Amino acid sequence: MMKFTKQNFIFLVGGIIIYVVDIGVDFWVASKYFCQGQYSWSILILCFRGLSSLITQIFSYEWFKNDWEGTDTGKPKWIFLVHLLQCGIFIRYWFALKYGCQAAFKQNSGDAPETDPPNFIQKQAVDVVTDINMLRVFKTFLETTPQLFIQLYILMEHGKNNFCQYAAIIISFCGISISMVDYQISLRKSLPDKEEFRVLPKLVYLFYKLLTITSWIFSISLITLLSVRSSGMLLIFLWTCGFTWTLKQHTIFCKSKKMEYLYRTVVGIILIFTFFNIKGRKTKLCISIYYATHTVVTLGILFVYMFWKPSIIMEIHFTIVSILTILSLVLGIIFLVVYYRFFHPTAYCRPQAHSDEVDGAAGQKDRVESGRFQNFLMQ
């Protein structure tokens, strides 16, 4: 397990600031649309905000329950109330600041409590930050990415643009980028057989994820311009495929069946936008099929425009979006190949002895002892 450094602590503080700013921007944009009489967009943005908050609070509360099971102190009663008020993430940030400060500063200066071994302090800091970054990944694909899609659709469909709209788009792109990289860093720290995520691999991974997601969001926005119903059917079909794939993988991320199915549902949504390796195994074939399918669908959407509505092709916004879609797709695939060819860790997680015993007692015991993040790797 790698150390929690001062640089990690600074990034943690920056993450808290960005999280708070993101909440403020969401309500600011929603209020702008409401004041302009665009009630449907305002409600839709708030719905995505509420859905992501609800699901992340559920997972956060369940993780607190799991972590305190079998301890002498037990679970504090106020934890449920805090999560009911949708503030559980702030409690996790408080623990992250507490443990992170001990690991990054006090431990190095000799001020850490003598009762806490150095490795234990480091593990506490890494584990709590990894939990936060996992929740941020959920938030990214339940709220940030859909909101980015909505903003781009409004921009292309109605041609109306203002400062708050551009601010929301920029914040969304920043949120997606930071959550992707932060989670991969935390995951590598929490898994002992992963190499350190250095600067160049971080940048390559960042551009691979950001560009492929951007291209796909542009593609979905284009098909929505043609037909909202077709876009909805495509998204439902993709979620069904993703959810079915997670069922076949027999994931063991959660202790209870209900939470496991909720987790698989969320992963199905994530798979609409980006590849998510939920078992920590080599997935060369799966990821090739995934992005080959995205490429075929993207090109298919552009061809449909050429033959179905050729008049739109002459419009400037379509030309710009089409160029950005193709360019980001090509560059994203190039960064993907470079990342997997030169920077992807070759050592994968060792399979658990009871990895197929999803609901068995032995499987649950291994799940608790090895931690939440031993059974998959986000690629």
What's 42's DSSP letter?
A: H
| SS3 of residue 218 by DSSP | helix
Least confident stretch, 55-59, 105-109, 126-130 = 105-109
Are the C-beta atoms of residues 193 and 2 closer than 8 Å to each other? no
Residue 292 clears pLDDT 90, i.e. is over it = yes
What's the pTM value of the predicted model, to 2 decimals? 0.82
Residue 278 has a CB neighbour count (10 Å cut-off) of 23
What are the sequence ranges of the domains in the chain? 1-107+118-195, 197-346
| SS3 of residue 286 by DSSP | helix
Residue 353 has a CB neighbour count (10 Å cut-off) of 10
State what percent of residues in the chain have pLDDT above 70: 78
Are the C-beta atoms of residues 264 and 358 closer than 8 Å to each other? no
| SS3 of residue 275 by DSSP | coil
Report DSSP letters for 223-269, one per residue.
Answer: HHHH-HHHHHHHHHHHHHHHHHHHHHHT---SSSHHHHHHHHHHHHH
> Measured between alpha carbons, how far is residue 152 from residues 25, 32, 180 in Å?
16, 16, 21
Mean pLDDT of 246-262: 86
What are 301-353's pLDDT values in tens digits?
888 877 776 666 556 667 787 888 999 999 999 999 998 888 776 534 444 33
Least confident stretch, 189-193, 222-226, 238-242 = 189-193
Are the C-beta atoms of residues 10 and 100 closer than 8 Å to each other? no
Please name the residue ranges forming H helices in the chain.
6-35, 39-68, 78-84, 88-101, 107-109, 118-139, 145-158, 163-190, 199-226, 228-249, 257-273, 284-308, 310-313, 316-338, 361-370
What tokens were used for 55?
């699901």
Long-range contacts of 266-270 (CB under 8 A, 24+ apart): 266/55, 266/138, 266/141, 266/142, 267/242, 267/243, 268/239, 268/240, 268/242, 268/243, 269/141, 269/142, 269/239, 269/242, 270/137, 270/141, 270/242
**Chain centre to alpha carbon of residue 33:** 26
Determine the pLDDT at residue 51.
Answer: 93
Residue 366 has a CB neighbour count (10 Å cut-off) of 18
What are 12-38's pLDDT values in tens digits?
888 888 888 888 888 888 888 888 888
